[in-house]
A and B are shown apart, each in its own frame.
Chain A
Amino acid sequence: MMNNEVKILEGKIELDYKWNPGNSVGRFLTGLRDNKEILGVRCTKTSKVFFPPQMWSPYAQIKMDRYIPLTGQPRLKAGSIVYKAPWNLPEGIQVPYMYAAITFPGADTEILHIVCGSLDELKSLKPEDTLSIVWKEPRTGTIRDIDHFRKS
């Protein structure tokens, strides 16, 4: 009987990527970076507004390029308070925070992002409560240019 039998081989995979967001998401990220602009895109057949924007309307089966800025105050649709830090805890964020589905007036889809604040604030948040955006500085053209949302 071997006492020191090989039972585990350790390893790690590291790969570098250069992802193309595509024109729609690219335009959205550029808007965030350059103008703090929140862009949606309207399907001209169904009138539905997709946010974040995407190139293809899955129900009308048409290309979408009617971009519209969403200027209203975002609202909480639903959120879960995260107590256990995930491996990819966003930089500068601490647990507990809220992982949340957030809607913007005029958009028919929601975005998944995070809401920060004291635990009491997070606990007091209810669906439909208004939120405000905390922007990141400097902005670099990623979804994290919206650093987080907070109770308004």
Chain B
Amino acid sequence: MSDEKITLGFEGHRVEKTARVANGQPRPWDLDSKLEVVGKKHPRVDGLLKATGKARYTHDVRLPGMLWGVIVRSPYAAALVKKVSLEKALAAPGVKAAIRIARDRVHYHGDEVAALCATSLELAREAARLVEVEYEVLPHVVTAEEARRADAPRVFPKRENALAGRAQKHGDVDAGLAKSDKTVHATYRTQVQTQSALETHGLVAHWEDATTLTIHASTQGTFSVREGLAREFGLKDSDVRVLAEHVGGGFGAKFGPGVEGVAAAKLAREAKAPVWLMVDRKGNHLACGNRPDSTQEMTGGIAKDGSLLALKVSSYGTGGVAAGSSGVANPMVYKVPNVEKREESVVTNGGGARAFRAPGHPQGFFALEQMVDELADAIGMDPLEVRVKNDPSEIRQREWQIGADAIGWKEKRNREPGKGGPIVRGVGCAATRWGGQGGPAAAVHVRVDEDGTVEARSGAQDIGTGTRTVIATVVAEELGLVSPSDVRVAVGDTRDPIGPGSGGSRTASSIAPAARTAAFQVREALWRALAKQKLVTEESSAGAFSQGKVMLADRTVPFAEAVRLSGKKGFQWIGERIQNDREAAFHESGVAGCQFAEVEVDLETGKVKVVKVVAVQDAGTIVDALTAESQVIGGVIQGVGYALFEERIMDRRSGRVLNADMLHYKIPTAEDCPEIVPLLFPVAAGGNNVGLLGIGEPPTVPTAAAIANAVANATGVRVRELPLTPARVLAALATRDAAPALTPAKKVWR
């Protein structure tokens, strides 16, 4: 253990810290580190495999003798399952096994009832029609409003539908509101959004023998699948091998084996053959997760000088059958001295919510950031000025300026909202915050072969976020290689060192420091071997590895040549992630970011067009600027979908989902895509030897809020419910003449 002085922060805001560097660990990268590979733009290392269609996903796995599985789902939102007869299905051509999944009750449209496998997918689908299920249909309830009523049918017989969630309180909210010069009371609503990863959920299960199970899974957590199946079948973790070579997206919902995964493994055991069971698109919408809806009643108070004084929030929402899932994240970013918050989570007869890219955040920020705008309007102050005044984050203080300049806040802010037309324009903004510093357990195996080939292995998965590329970039930096493509990376096999699930924006941030430790140790070992051969005299290898070459005492040789000269058969090390050093970290409250949206609204049709989004995003140390920017762009586009189109629609009377497909559940396409300006804000973050903070989630948090604020700036009316459909915009516009128009700030910030 040694103490090292490091400098964190960003240019213009340098902070000295003392890092306690454990034995065997490299000194943390800081603001003064001269990095050659890290921080540049690198194409992802598996890009060409994907662009040529050669990347193999679970959907594409074909094993000898493999059978095709399907799931039979409940057509009812609530029913008793009296009887499930599999005989006819089992007698159908090609069918090899069938199992019952449902117990005595189904709780939502799409709930799993049975599964079977056959020699072709067509035969399996045909046979699924022959599964006879006797239901006793029960009353159902699919909206949170109705489910909260005392006379509503109970989703689960033994418990109330509504459950009190987290409560939060500091200061005295009533006193704060009383002290406020202006208060605003409003209710904001957000919809149910489905993750809709393009590769649906599922896996291929293969019993090599009675206790050896090999799984190919489309998953965000290889080890979570392993653990789930080991528990289910009473196996040791190591009896189950999970492979996830490439994963077609996840967005939060793909953890654990899932009902379909357990079913596949059971079918495979019964049929004594590998079983492919990928959920179909409809099943994916119905049963594989969603973002819960929310209704947030808020009262906010503000002083004339723009200080936020109080915020009272009462919210409820439903994540279908998943209880306790509908909390909302606010106020978080702004310093509000008096806060009182109550949450209620309501169960309904709908598919269960699962984590979805920044759970609770887009909904919480949609409400909070509109409230901030409404409070600013109430005192006649520019909403950006109010934000800057109440935002304690040094990073975001800088980001607000960068973003405002990039969007042209001063020029584009509409001083006469709703005037003119039919096309009116406006701009709006919103903040984001997220954790994402990662931590154990994570380990990376780095190996250098005799011929100089460098390989890194991790059991974690790459769901499209660039895990492989991050590992390769860090290893290349540490070994002084030219580019990430000089490192072979293997991920997604639980026989390799443990890694985190890709949730909480923690894959890269957990793994990168482990990769660096491993590469550092390999470099040190190579250096010692070179010293033994009397080829180097310096005690430290620092600075000797650069641009693919190694500086020996009398000459500089290519990396592979140095390995050859070392006289060793190769080098390897498994680097382990250690806990973050909080004393030597810059961030106290997660990554900071903000977004600015520019919109056009057609006052005649109510159609909103997002013209441009500027996204300023802190991510600690930027490891690969290209893939980091891609993450930001992707988060914004998903936010555009959330803001404008995406909504799972349920029929109250039948309890069924009406748009469980990709035609009627509308995801943004090329024509909907605004101009997006991703502006990475690098911060030397410390906390560990890399200082990367994950940004899978934060860029999707503020987009809908910024768009909604821009719509209000364009039209002079506020749409407090997502998505901002033409119908909702027109309805809001219709109230314009009945209510006094909003008074926009006379003075614009800066």
A binds B: no
* Residues of A that sit less than 8 Å from B by CB: none
